[in-house]
Structure 1
């Protein structure tokens, strides 16, 4: 149980998820520059000033056994186009969160997000035997909220004044989840969407 979240690669038709490493710094920054994603006030995308801390925190959480960060590689160009991770892993409760996800603007709404989530959810439910997968996002991150709902997750609620951001602003956090019993139907829905696109 101590090594529940083991580093691994996950691969689909469009993307490959590879374990995040310090050596990915330049490629991650290049991806984040595509659309100046760090300017989105309601999300946390690394910039030149925050990238070192971003990677260090992700790798520290991985070492602690609670996270597994990935770089997202677009197979058509063999370039890193974003990042995602398992977070807040609880081996004893067989629960994990999927989050800290962002994509270069040029690959948004391309099918890459759907496939990434499919790969992560499949591994979580079918290999890690999770009983629930959580998603959390900022109340004002409506694109993310809508994308999570499109996956088939259900909104559980809103935690008000959940966080204080770097600018001292209060963040309300919206929580969603997919349960083990719901996975077969969610999986079927995601496969249907992906097959329509391929």
Structure 2
């Protein structure tokens, strides 16, 4: 499982390798809804976008992540970001995380198609035996979205992280196992066709 930049194409969305050239697009996407104001997300504030982008690219160079921008194909606009992270080459596992979308595309087909692309690549190309999702205890919307995908809740990591503002975060962990993927894939394809 190498951490090389990837380009994944869907019907309505394109997942493209995150690059320094995307900084203005990331700022604009996060500004749609002022997402950085949600204390339980990792969306960069305008003045922190360069630091956020540098950290994502550093994770990639350290073979720890594959970061993407999310481009809506109809208008060509970047509407968010996501990444493969916590990549465990030895145990064939990874996490899909750091995901956020502009407010105007939340609860649309974007998340379903992004997850379908990412999970297909994880299970069918990288041969993962498990894919994990993690979210803040207070991010109920994210938990509901992960559960809609069909992931199962593994548990809560209490006092898991100390955040930049000093808050100690409890992290809710979900996963999808390789043997569950065929059924979940059919469900995601069905959900995608409903939009």
The normalised TM-score by structure 1 is 0.97
Match of 1:6 in 2: 4
**1:140 aligned to 130, 138, 141, which one?**
138
Structure 2 counterpart SS, 1:73: strand
- For 1:62, the equivalent position in structure 2 comes to 60
- Cα distance in 1, alignment partners of residues 92 and 27 from structure 2: 33
- Deviation digits for residues 63-105 of structure 1, max 9, x if unmatched? 1111000000000100100000000111111100000000001
Unaligned stretches of 5+ residues in structure 1: none
Deviation at 1:177, TM superposition (A): 0.2
The residue that corresponds to 2:29 in the other structure is 31
In structure 1, what is the Cα distance between the partners aligned to 2:4 and 2:28?
Answer: 27
3-state SS of 2:47 partner: coil
Find the aligned partners of 1:100 and 1:191 in 2 and give their Cα distance. Answer: 23
1:167 shift after superposition: 1.8
- Please, what is the CA RMSD of the aligned residues? 0.8
Where 1:93 maps in the other structure, the secondary structure is coil
Match of 1:103 in 2: 101
Size of the aligned set, in residue pairs, is 195
Correspondence for 1:165 among 163, 166, 178: 163
Q: Could you give the per-residue CA deviations for residues 140-194 of structure 1, whole angstroms, max 9, x where no partner exists? A: 0000000000000000000111111122111100000000000001101001111
Q: TM-score, normalised by structure 2?
A: 0.98
SS of 2:23 mapped into structure 1: helix
Q: CA deviation at 1:6?
A: 2.1
Shift of 1:110: 1.2
In 2, Cα distance between equivalents of 1:52 and 1:5: 21
1:46 alignment partner in structure 2: 44
For 1:49, what is the secondary structure of its paired residue?
Answer: helix
Alpha-carbon distance in 1 for matches of 2:53, 2:24: 11
Matching residue within 95, 116, 119 for 2:117:
119
Give, in whole Å, the separation in 1 of the partners of 2:45 and 2:22: 13
2:152 paired with 1:188: no
Question: Structure 1 residue runs of 4+, over 2 Å off?
Answer: none
Unaligned runs of 5+ in 2: none
